[in-house]
Amino acid sequence: MNRRDSVLALLALGGMPFGVTAQQTTKFWRIGYLSIGVTNDGTAAFQRGLRELDYVEGRNITIDFRFAGGKEDLLSAFAADLVRQKVDVIVTASTQATIAAKNATGTIPIVMAVSGDAVGTGLVKSLARPGGNVTGNTMISPEVSGKRLELIKEIVPKMTRVGVLWNPADPPRQIEFRETTTAARRLGIEVVSVEVSEIADIRRKIPAFINERMDALIVFIDPLTWSNRALIAELALNARIPTMAADGFTVRAGALVCYGPNLVELVRRAAIYVDKILKGAKPADLPIEQPTKFELVVNLKTARAIGINIPESVLVRADEVIE
């Protein structure tokens, strides 16, 4: 055998196993995504976040989406189905979705794209050391409630009475309500609790504001208000009530203004947790992140419709102005 033949033989013998090994170690990951909402609630941001980390659907990942469309009772069955599919990680969008996933599995890693009080609801031991199979993002940020009140009072300077539309059955919202009332006392504002537990409550209580002398309405996010944000915006507009929301989606649906964590950014950042877990990190050791990016969105079309002049001091700080 001459030198050329020897080299070719070595390449053939050494190259073939190398190629086979490389092919075998290319892992195809399966990701579950469980949401109480619908398909347009920021899922594109999660997919974009994965692509930025070189995870491409059909090449090295597949995503099994489950959307409850606002129906909380569907979450348990969807979570159990994702466990049966033997996904490598479950991404959840809402506290309720995380609870359903946690009840379905204690071993598959769970990444919270959006969540409320993960510690208070018992999902994790602490933000710094989650300690189980759950990690991810939280929306909890204590100073937000006060800033929302300050902003809506800047827009409605004579405001003395504000309604808070919320569902007391959602545990994280109880914390948010306490923080809001504390901030209101400091600002000399009376808070009226407007409690809703079903869509009929929303339809009945918002129009009643006309006769209850409410100066503004603050809307907390929970599965009920989130899935009916367009209805809430429409009813508030018809009643000519300035509405402060917690997210940009509700303002784009017709509410007046919002200040809160950028939900799209939170969902996108969930991909970073997924990447770390797929590379071997344990959820128990990954600290839960509090929001660092907030958004102020103003709907000038709504402002004109209800006869509100948005101060220039608010407009110049807005991240988005809807004309």
Question: Is 144-262+295-322 in the same CATH topology as 27-140+263-292?
Answer: yes
Name the band, by pLDDT with cuts 50, 70 and 90, for residue 284.
very high
Superfamily of segment(s) 27-140+263-292: Response regulator (3.40.50.2300)
Nearest 5°: the CA angle 135, 141, 143 is 170
| 61-67 β-sheet, strand order | 61-67, 29-35, 89-93, 110-114, 134-136
State the Cα–Cα distance between residues 293 and 320, nearest whole angstrom.
14
pLDDT tens string 52-105: 999 999 999 999 999 998 888 999 999 999 999 999 999 999 888 999 999 999
Show me where the domains of the chain are located: 27-140+263-292, 144-262+295-322
Name the band, by pLDDT with cuts 50, 70 and 90, for residue 25.
low
pTM as predicted: 0.83
pLDDT tens string 142-177: 678 889 999 999 999 999 999 999 998 877 788 889
Q: Is the pLDDT at 1 greater than 90, yes or no? A: no
| DSSP label of 29 | E
User: How confident is the model at residue 20, as a pLDDT?
Assistant: 43
State the Cα–Cα distance between residues 219 and 167, nearest whole angstrom.
10
CATH class of the domain whose range is 144-262+295-322: alpha beta
Greater confidence, 11 or 261?
A: 261
Name the band, by pLDDT with cuts 50, 70 and 90, for residue 26.
low
Average pLDDT of the chain is: 88
